[in-house]
Amino acid sequence: MKEPFNRVGFLIGWVSVITQFILMLQNRQADIVETIIRFFSFFTILTNTLVALYFTVHTFKIKNRVLFLFYKKGTLTALTVFILVVGIVYQIVLRHVWEPKGLQLIIDEMLHTINPIFVLVYWILFALREDVNFQNIKGWLWYPVIYFAYIITRGYFSGFYPYPFVNIPEIGYKQLFINFILIFSFIILLLAILIAFGRKLKHNII
C-alpha cells in the first residue's frame, strides 16, 4: 500500500517543483544565475524539494550517505509540519498577494495545497511511533532558523526578499523579529499537535 503513495508523492512533488522552476525562468526579472538563486530562496520551493526528495529516496530505495537523512526517524513528521506551514501560511497570508493564471495557477495550487494535503494524508497512514518522538524531530527545528538567517543575510546584500513578512526595508527589524517568533511558534504548535495526534493513531501503538 505504501509504494503507490511513494510514487504519487514522487510524481506530484517533482512535477510541481520543476514546472515552477521553468515558469520562473521564462518570466525572470533578473539574469539566470540570480533567478536560480532566488528560486531556491523560497521556503515553499525548498520544502517541496525536500518532500520530493523524501519520496524519491523511498520510491527507488536509495541508500547513501548523502540522503540518509530521509530515512531517519522523525523526518516524515518534520517534513509534514513544514509543508503544512507552507500551505497554511500561503492560504492565510499570501494568497491575496497575487492572482496566478493558467499553468501557473495549477502549479501554485500543487505547491501550496495539493502537496501539503497529500503529505498529511501520507503521514496519517504511514507515520510510526518513532516518527512522533520529539527527540527524533528536534534537530529539524534548525531548518527554519537557518532559512531565516540566510534570507535576511542575502536580502541585506542583494535587496531581494522572497516574502513580504521578511522584507526588512518595508517592515523593519522589529516586525521581522515578531514575524519570526510567530512563525516559529506556529511550527512548534503544529509539531505538538502532530505528536499528540500521532501517538493516538492505531498503527503507532501496535
- Whole-angstrom CA distances from 178 to 44, 141, 166, 174 are 20, 18, 10, 6
Low-confidence ranges of the chain (pLDDT < 50): 204-206
Local structure of residue 112 (DSSP, 8 states)? I
Query: What pLDDT is stored for residue 200 in this prediction?
Result: 80
The 10 Å Cβ neighbour count of residue 33 is 8
Number of domains in the chain: 1
Query: What pLDDT is stored for residue 53 in this prediction?
Result: 97
Note whether 134 and 14 are within 8 A (CB).
Answer: no
Residue-range definition of the domain harbouring residue 196:
2-205
For 44-94, the pLDDT digits (tens) are 999 999 999 999 999 999 988 888 999 999 999 999 999 999 999 999 988
Overall pTM > 0.85: yes
